[in-house]
Amino acid sequence: MPELSGFRKWGHRWIEVDRDGLPALHSAFVCGKKYCNANASLWQFQSAKTRCTVLRATFIALSESRWLRAVAERSRLGQRVSTRFVAGKEVADAIRAAAAMNQIGASVSIDNLGENVTNAEEARASAQLYHQLLDEIAADKLNANVSLKLTHMGLDADEKMAYENVRGLVAKAASMSPKNFVRVDMEGSPYTQRTLNFVHELHRVSSNEDSVGTVIQSYMRSAERDVEKLLSERIRIRLCKGAYKEPEDIAFQKKSEVDASYVKLMKVLMKSGVYHGLATHDETIIKEAKAFATRENIPRNAFEFQMLHGIRRDLQQSLVKDGWGMRVYIPFGTEWYPYFMRRLAERPANVFFIAKNLLRK
């Protein structure tokens, strides 16, 4: 095996790469140059259908590779590129990023990156870190809540233990003054029903009512039915399009269908009288939400827009400036790889921009 690490020439510049980083950087350039249109989102490749489907499927498949994950998360280059979407490795990094967002008028949801934990010890450590997060948010009086994944709390290792971990966190959030809130993120379809059932169960504990909510993905054909059921119990929902690769029988595949489903559900949520989150960077949909709120006399603080850390900061700031609720989702931690790959899947142009930025440094 040739020695790959060291300084490499790329264009007119020299950059330092470690042994694991070079193939990754090379793939980034090939994918980026070949496929990326700077302004397109994943879904906008519909006209070049095959290309879009292949790219999205490729990134999502890569996001599930345990081997690549181990290599990337260890490599120095990987750690450098992850900063595009990830606030840092430590709780202190997330707290600092949250304070900066609060300063510009946006609230925050902090996510400790990690998923598909396979042993009880790791799951308990993940839950413990969320306890620390809730304490630090309170100590610093931040306008922030937390988002977590059930598989990070150990769902694949021991379902009962995972539920106990989350139960403890929601109870803690509910007992704080002021109360805090735990959002249970939505993962791939094997976990959808279990996530919904568990959130319903948690929410039925009367002291938990304002302290737990979940996520609906508009690409799921079951989304409308699930929204109806959550709303019947006034459970807070984050509406997003969905970030996983799902088969056609359970999820819409076309952008037009996913968007139409989003807009339809968004209107139902906005009129429900419950405080929900509209998670999207899609400007057309955001415009439609604003127009709908104005038409229906829905106050600007009766719901919130939500966006990811590092994506469309311009839009985040302009929504805050115009008085709309805005929450930024801040991920941190060492297990950034699956999250990062899903962000590439959403917008392949990111590959090229990240590679370009690396060369600028």
Among 186, 223, 266, 351, binds ligand FDA (CB under 6 A): 186
Per-residue mark of binding to ligand FDA, 105-124 (x: CB under 6 A) = --------------------
Q: Which is nearer to ligand FDA, 145 or 180 (CB)?
A: 145
Q: Which is nearer to ligand FDA, 17 or 333 (CB)?
A: 333
Stretch that binds ligand FDA, among 88-96, 128-136, 138-146, 234-242 (CB under 6 A): 234-242
Determine how β-strand 13-17 pairs with β-strand 6-10: antiparallel
Q: Which is nearer to ligand FDA, 180 or 316 (CB)?
A: 316
Determine how β-strand 212-217 pairs with β-strand 236-240: parallel
Q: How far does CA 18 lie from the centroid of its chain?
A: 28
Residue 359 within binding range of ligand FDA, rule CB under 6 A: no
Per-residue mark of binding to ligand FDA, 21-60 (x: CB under 6 A) = --------------------xxx-----------------
Helices (H) and strands (E) in the chain, counts: 14, 10
Determine how β-strand 6-10 pairs with β-strand 107-112: unpaired
Tell me the number of residues near ligand FDA by CB under 6 A.
27
Residue 306 within binding range of ligand FDA, rule CB under 6 A: yes
Residue 286 within binding range of ligand FDA, rule CB under 6 A: no
CA 222/CA 281 separation, integer angstroms: 23
Stretch that binds ligand FDA, among 14-22, 189-197, 198-206, 343-351 (CB under 6 A): 343-351
Contacts of 177 (CB under 8 A, 6+ apart): none
CA 287/CA 291 separation, integer angstroms: 6
CA 286/CA 305 separation, integer angstroms: 8
Residues 335 and 73: beta-carbon distance below 8 Å: yes
Helix (H, G, I), strand (E, B) or coil at 205: coil
CA 123/CA 198 separation, integer angstroms: 17
* Residue 185 appears among annotated catalytic residues: yes
CA 277/CA 157 separation, integer angstroms: 30
- Residue (of 87, 88, 164, 154) closest to 126 by Cα position: 154
Q: Which is nearer to ligand FDA, 236 or 238 (CB)?
A: 238
Q: Which is nearer to ligand FDA, 17 or 35 (CB)?
A: 35
Q: What is the token pair recorded at 215?
A: 């996520």
Q: Looking at 20, 111, 156, 185, which residue is catalytic?
A: 185
Among 282, 316, 319, 348, binds ligand FDA (CB under 6 A): 282
* Residue 18 appears among annotated catalytic residues: no
Give the nearest distance from C-beta 121 to ligand FDA in angstroms.
Answer: 25
Give the nearest distance from C-beta 344 to ligand FDA in angstroms.
Answer: 7
CA 328/CA 113 separation, integer angstroms: 15
Provide the binding-site residues for ligand FDA, judged by CB under 6 A: 41-43, 185-186, 215, 217, 238, 240-244, 279-282, 306-308, 311-312, 329, 343, 346-347, 350
Residues with a known catalytic role: 185, 238
